Copies of this chain bind each other. A is one copy, B any other.
Amino acid sequence: VYVAWADGVLTTSERARIHERLGRTEWLNEDARSLLQEWLDPSAPPSPSSLQALRGRILSLGPEAAGETRRSLVALGIDLARAGGSRDGPWQDAAALEALNELEAALGVVGHEAARDLLSESAAVGEVSAAAPGGPSVAALREYLDRPHGELRREVLELLGDPRFRFPHDLDAGTYRRRVVEALHVLAARGWGALAHPTAHGGGGDPVRAIAVFETLAFGDHSLLVKYGVQFGLFGGSIAQLGSERHHARYLPAVGHLELPGCYAMTETAHGSNVRELETEARYDPGADAFVIRTPHPRARKDFIGGAAEDARLATVFAQLEVDGERHGVHAFLVPLRDDSGAPLPGVHLEDCGLKEGLNGVDNGRIAFDDVRVPRENLLDRFGRVDEEGRYSSPIPSPGRRFFTMLATLVAGRISVAAASVSAAKTGLTIAVRHAVARRQFGPAGGPEVPLLHYLAHQRLLLPRLATTCALHFAVRDLATLYGETAGHRTDPARTVEVEARAAALKAWGSEHCVATLQACREACGGQGYLAANRFGRLMADTDVFTTFEGANAVLLQLVAKALLSEYREEMGDLKLWDVVRYVADRAQTRIAELNPVVTRRTDEEHLRDPDFQAAAFRYREERLVSSAARRLKSLIDDGADSFEAMNVCQDHLLALGRAHAERLTVEAFHGAAAHAPDVALSETLRSLSDLHALSRLEADRGWFLEAGYFEAPKARAVRAVVNGLCGEVSESALALVDAFGIPDDVLEAPVATGSAE
């Protein structure tokens, strides 16, 4: 009776079933029968107190109600009767017992749970432990993740724990900016400003170390991160890569030590992605042997330039070079902005961009030039120079190719943003996973609440993203190494294009992943995640622009697609697309392997977790997207379409291709990292994560694989089942994994994750 009423109202059908049972229950006497009828009268439900009293009697059985009793309500009822003094009774009769059991079924309850609920007992629910037996060693995993430059990374992390590197959430923008600059000086004093600059002028000559510092700084404050990137990477990098020896000698030491704060003035209000059409003018005046820098109209001003609003003394300004009436395309010029007191120089108009969504410790500004003259040597002239007689020359005759060569200075920046995206995702996941292990909510009937990470939905929200973060970690690390091998050397041009394409792909996929992961982690922390102290607010606002700066993701993914369509041939305009598309389209007919029905149908876990199957699936998708894009473009152009419109008609296809490339790189990098792990336990942990990564990405795009016939339906279902299983598997080691990211508590800060929450 308690169960019938306690669980809600007694429905008509339930009453009918009970009445029917009662009618057939011969061993009940009339009194008992009418008492029960009374209890079950829908128009006069029992009072809450009488229900409570009933529950009290049940509970008073206490510990005696253990063991057997839990089996069902019927057993519980008999115990109850016995406790009431009735040693013997009709329920000892087998028919009566069966009738009671039927009654229990009629109430539509699962007996053992109902009994347990009454007795407030708990079901055995798995706990999530920090150190699962046989799980990975945090130290070994961390050491592997930290390669190369593990020591440098630890030095940076140690510094980030310093109070000078922590910026309260309620700082006003002015104070915030000032404190960021102070911290930037500390980094410069450690020699980390010149890591990538040539050794001949006091630099470290190692761009990969600079990327490692940037990646690690991304665990801390992102305004500092961006100021570091602007001053040493973009401003310093433009001088190092676009300037000559004499520029290096004159400027780099001061830049690296932050004695000469500068900025990188490329973007204009009206031209962000389409940099080739920048409108700032740099006309050579032979009489004065100087360039005249001019902003032709307000929307041609430099905009969103980090450092321009307050700090920068000197700017690398990208402008259209004009010599003797001839235009030679975009070139970079060093243009002084402020005098030593910080006052703007004549003809330089500076403006503050004002408050932003995030990164408010960075002084973004606007610059307009009113016929500002700079001496001839201020042209960064590695790829184009004007001699004493006012003649322009360049080692690269094509203006288009020259332009793209100059843009290659952005590659290190893109790799750095990809690396920082991975770090930010790690911060979010560390907070969310620790919260998911500590926080309990709901649970089985009568049992204690269970940790959030026990729930499949919560695992699915966090763990595939954890796996993808690790995969991107290795993909970006591989790319940085490759970049280090090619940067500054005259290598195979195709290799250079490949590095550029990879950087574009991983910057786009990394930043997109970062934004989505932080959002998921914030939601996974519920209201706690919404408190500023727990980091997500600022972290999300700061990283949001990662999808936009250093190349908008949609533009970068198309760049990747074009590089793939041209098979990493050197940079080319759309004009040659026709040639390439024809070539790829012709070859495509024979290139794509026939689908193997045995493979499309195999659903066993061993097959799905085989790296060869996974790699083949991602390669197949990429190759098929390349060849089908080529065929579509060819047929559009054959039908008379303009190449611009042909590209536009296929734009979603090209973006899908760019993403497919990024994912293929990432899957391969993780396979490699798991295979080369220094010990078996580590390799196994990484294999589980790598499988979760690859299969969850296949699951996410199962529509494509089904449509292409690469999967049949049972295979898609099997992938989902294995992803669910892997989520459970990885949940056991999730805490160890985020610990291995190695973010110290005083850098992580978030009270909800560091146990310092009140």
Q: Which residues of A contact B (CB under 8 A)?
A: 3, 5-9, 11, 45-49, 51-52, 56, 107-110, 113-114, 117, 123, 125, 169-170, 172-173, 267, 271-274, 277, 298, 303-304, 326-328, 353-358, 384, 391-394, 397-401, 441-445, 447, 449, 454-458, 460-461, 515, 519, 522-523, 526-527, 529-533, 536-538, 540-541, 544-545, 547-549, 552-554, 569-576, 578-580, 582, 637, 642-645, 648-649, 651-652, 655, 701-703, 706-709, 713, 716-717, 724, 758
Contact = CB atoms under 8 A, between A and B. Distances in A.
Query: Can you tell how many copies of this chain the complex includes?
Result: 2
A276 to B, nearest CB: 9
Given A8-B570, A355-B533, A357-B530, A108 B579 contact: yes
B442 A384 contact: no
Q: Which 6 A-B pairs have the closest CB atoms?
A: A108-B579, A357-B537, A444-B644, A703-B703, A355-B532, A706-B706
A48 B651 contact: no
Contacts of A442: 273-274
Contacts of A170: 172-173, 355
Nearest to A398: B8
A576 B108 contact: yes
Given A9-B401, A173-B170, A392 B49 contact: yes
Nearest to A359: B530
Contacts of A579: 107-109
A448 B663 CA distance: 35
Contact of A642 (B444, B706, B708): B444
Contact of A457 (B455, B531, B651, B703): B651
A485 B443 CA distance: 36
A375 B125 CA distance: 42
Given A108-B579, A758-B298, A545 B519 contact: no
Contacts of A48: 326, 328, 384, 392-394, 397, 399
Nearest to A439: B270
B355 A445 contact: no
A374 B553 CA distance: 59
Given A47-B392, A445-B575, 14 more contacts: A6-B398, A7-B573, A8-B572, A49-B391, A107-B579, A277-B449, A303-B527, A353-B531, A357-B536, A357-B540, A457-B655, A702-B706, A706-B707, A707-B717
Contacts of A708: 713
Nearest to A50: B397
A550 to B, nearest CB: 11
B573 A527 contact: no
A649 B456 contact: yes
Given A397-B46, A707-B706, A274 B527 contact: no
Contacts of A393: 47-49
B354 A110 contact: no
A573 B355 CA distance: 50
Contacts of A571: 8
A66 B682 CA distance: 69
Contacts of A460: 652
A445 B357 contact: no
A487 to B, nearest CB: 21
A296 to B, nearest CB: 16
18 contacts: A6-B399, A8-B398, A8-B400, A8-B570, A8-B573, A11-B569, A48-B326, A48-B393, A52-B328, A271-B441, A355-B537, A461-B554, A529-B548, A530-B545, A540-B544, A702-B706, A702-B707, A706-B713
A527 B8 contact: no
A108 B579 CA distance: 5
A113 B354 CA distance: 43
